[in-house]
Amino acid sequence: MSNKVLDINNVTTGYENKVILENVNLTVSDNDYIGIIGPNGGGKTTLLKLILGIIKPFSGSVNLFNNGDHKRSLVGYLPQENKFDKQFPISVRDVVLSGLMSDIGIFSRYKKTDKNKADALLQRVGMEGFAKSSIGELSGGQQQKVFLCRAIISQPHLLILDEPNTYVDNKFEGELYDIIKELNKEMAILLVSHDVGTISKHVKSIACVNRKLHYHPSNHITEKQLAEYQCPLQIITHGDIPHTVLKHH
């Protein structure tokens, strides 16, 4: 029996009267693992901002569920680009704890249990022993793991990952997808990517976003289907021999 964690109902939204997303519907249940694909400028980031509550719908509604509670901490978020200052004086553990910001409020004080939780998460992603290091001392992949811990420390029902493989090497990418697969047992996952090939190896279903949203209830998608969805993307298929199918030219 699966529970609904997110319901986007006929939403139109954008910026300053410029419509980016139109009549979008999406329902996410707690064991979903949805890949979100679409061309650049198609509205993937806008969709994330909508779910995170940074922008509001012009019309329609966005609902997060936890027995009726609506809290920001129900959604964990791993941004695509972490525009942080590498030399900023902050420890790895503190970065993870910052994922509890909206639970604890602006007078934030962390309890011993919160710190233990942060350390347990770091251990889970293989980063034990780094709790007191400065964030800037870590490699890109290690930092990404720390940011993943920050995203899940509030025990969200929905985890949003925006192009998590952008700045990491292949070895780490595999590790990351293993961790996400494990996390999917506890929470729904929305994985944003422009790379259909990589994504379809991992996700259970696909949503194409290009002003409209088309939900595709399997992880196999063909170029023909993408065309029907008006989602102009290059398809990279995978099989025994990985190959790329190029568009007509």
Of 29 and 91, nearer to another protein (C-beta) is 91
DSSP 178-232: HHHHHHTTTSEEEEE-S-HHHHHTT-SEEEEEESEEEEESSS---HHHHHHTT--
- Of 19-27, 106-114, 188-196, 239-247, the segment contacting another protein by CB under 8 A is 106-114
CB-based contact 191:180 (threshold 8 Å): yes
Of 101 and 236, nearer to another protein (C-beta) is 101
Of the residues 17, 107, 185, 242, which one makes contact with another protein according to CB under 8 A: 107
Task: Tell me, letter by letter, the H, E, C secondary structure of 21-61.
Answer: EEEEEEEEECCCEEEEECCCCCCHHHHHHHHHCCCCCCEEE
- Of 10-18, 33-41, 105-113, 208-216, the segment contacting another protein by CB under 8 A is 105-113
x/- map, 130-149, another protein, by CB under 8 A: ----x---------------
Q: Does 241 bind another protein (CB under 8 A)?
A: no
Of 72 and 194, nearer to another protein (C-beta) is 72
The three-class DSSP label of residue 121 is helix
Of 91 and 225, nearer to another protein (C-beta) is 91
Residues numbered 44-103 forming contacts with another protein, rule: CB under 8 A: 52-54, 72, 77, 79, 82-85, 88-91, 94-95, 97-98, 101-102
Q: Number of residues interacting with another protein: please give it, by CB under 8 A.
A: 28
Burial per residue of 112-149, b for 16 or more beta-carbon CB atoms within 10 angstroms, e otherwise:
eebeebbbebbebbebeebbeebbeebeebbbbbbbbb
Of 38 and 99, nearer to another protein (C-beta) is 99
CB-based contact 12:59 (threshold 8 Å): yes
Site for another protein, rule CB under 8 A: 52-54, 72, 77, 79, 82-85, 88-91, 94-95, 97-98, 101-102, 104, 106-110, 134, 150
